[in-house]
Amino acid sequence: MPTRNLDTLFSGWERELRLLLETRPTHQEFWDYWREREEAVERLATPRDAEIINAAFDHLFAIAESSGYVRVPVLPPLVAEAGEAS
C-alpha cells in the first residue's frame, strides 16, 4: 500500500481514536473497536509496509495506554494444559 494512503489511514484512525476515548468506552467496547481497525489494516497492508505499520501501531497503543486501555497479551497454554490436550 502506498505510504501516503497508510499515513492517511492512521491519521484518520488517530482522530477517531481520540474521539472514542472521550466517550470512555468499556474495555470490551474499546478492544472490539480496536480489533475492527486492526483487521482492516491487516487486509490492506503488504509486507513492505511493516515498518510504517509497526510505528503507527506503537503510536496508537501509546495513546490508548495513556487512557488506561492496556492490551493483555495472549499467553501460550500452560505445559500441563498442553499435555492434557494430547
Residue 13 CB burial class (10 angstroms; 0-12, 13-18, ≥19): buried
Q: What is the pTM (predicted TM-score) of this model?
A: 0.71
Side chain identity, residue 46: T
What kind and span of H or E run contains 37? Answer: helix 27-44
pLDDT digits (tens, 9 = 90+) for 1-43: 555 688 888 999 999 999 999 999 999 999 999 999 988 888 8
- Provide the number of structural domains found in the chain: 1
Nearest CA-CA partner of 10 in 70, 72, 54, 65 = 54
Segments forming the whole domain that contains residue 70: 3-85
Residue 43 confidence (pLDDT)? 85
